[in-house]
Amino acid sequence: MFYVLSGYGMVFPRVTAVLGFNYRLSIYIHTHPVLRYIASVLVAIHGYGGFVLLVNRYVRKPMLKYALFTIALAYVAILIIVPTFIELALTLER
């Protein structure tokens, strides 16, 4: 929720000033490394959960289900590994 509010705080600072968000605080929250990483991981997990739900609902063949789950798991692993390496590289660069 703070992530969304910080985005609005950068675009519409007067609207979120009532909640205590100014432009500077919004930029800090929106670009904080830990929050960026958590958002990336949550997006990957959310995507995997949605994919599993769709596969369970529409795919009947067990072998095809297994193959799709394996592909989805590999894709999510990549989606989590890439931000991890990017954040580590940015942290070590400083």
Longest C-alpha distance within the chain, in Å?
A: 55
The C-alpha atoms of residue 28 and residue 9 are separated, in whole angstroms, by 11
**34 touches 81 (CB < 8 A):** no
Q: How many C-beta atoms lie closer than 10 Å to residue 9's C-beta?
A: 25
pLDDT digits (tens, 9 = 90+) for 65-81: 999 999 999 999 999 99
pTM: 0.73
pLDDT digits (tens, 9 = 90+) for 4-43: 666 767 777 777 777 777 788 878 887 888 888 888 899 9
The C-alpha atoms of residue 78 and residue 26 are separated, in whole angstroms, by 29
